[in-house]
Amino acid sequence: MSKNLNALVEVALFAALAMVLSFIPDFIGWFNPSFGAIPLILFSLRRGAKYGLLAGLIWGLLHFVLGKVYYLSFSQVFLEYILAFVAMGLAGYLAPSFQTALKTKEYTKALLRAFLATSLAVLVRYVIHYIAGVIFWGSYAPEGVSAYWYSFTVNGTAGGLTLFVVLLVLGILIPANPRFFLPNK
């Protein structure tokens, strides 16, 4: 099997795993971490931006197939289900320096690169959600609460929790199994 085909099969598997993790029940209301971000970040650090962005796109599209889309308008759906999910693949842009640090056994440097990559992807995703929150969801803010503050608290809390969960997983997985992030290319 060609190495490109292997990577594409991994794209499908990691996008599907992200979708499955998206079904974890909401245990904190609107302020939930996105557990689906975990496999997307891991995969982006493993395969790079090209495949990470594709996996994010497929994860976003799976929301349509499985009926997990909250639709207000085309632009809202495009922002929140296409751009925001694709943004998770941005972590892959730091994959080369992350993998180089792993190969040279500079694990502290690798962890810092992984944390930076995760922070970039999560920040961009939740900035997109914040913008959509202000524009499209602001009218749902409680009386007396501005759309800006409402979107910041909802999306900021979810983004912060997502960042925490992904960093926790990376902090455990990188030292335990660095070879996971070094596929045979």
We report the CATH number of the domain holding residue 8 as 1.10.1760.20
Q: Say how many domains are in the chain.
A: 1
Domain of residue 47: give its range: 3-23+30-181
State the Cα–Cα distance between residues 94 and 122, nearest whole angstrom.
14
Mean pLDDT of the chain, nearest integer: 93
**What are the backbone angles phi and psi of residue 31, rounded to the nearest 5°?**
-95, 45
State the Cα–Cα distance between residues 144 and 127, nearest whole angstrom.
23
pLDDT at 67: 87
- Say if residues 178 and 107 touch (Cβ distance below 8 Å): yes
Residues of the chain falling short of pLDDT 70: 1, 25-31, 185
Distances (CA, A) of 115 to 24, 56, 62, 91: 24, 18, 27, 9
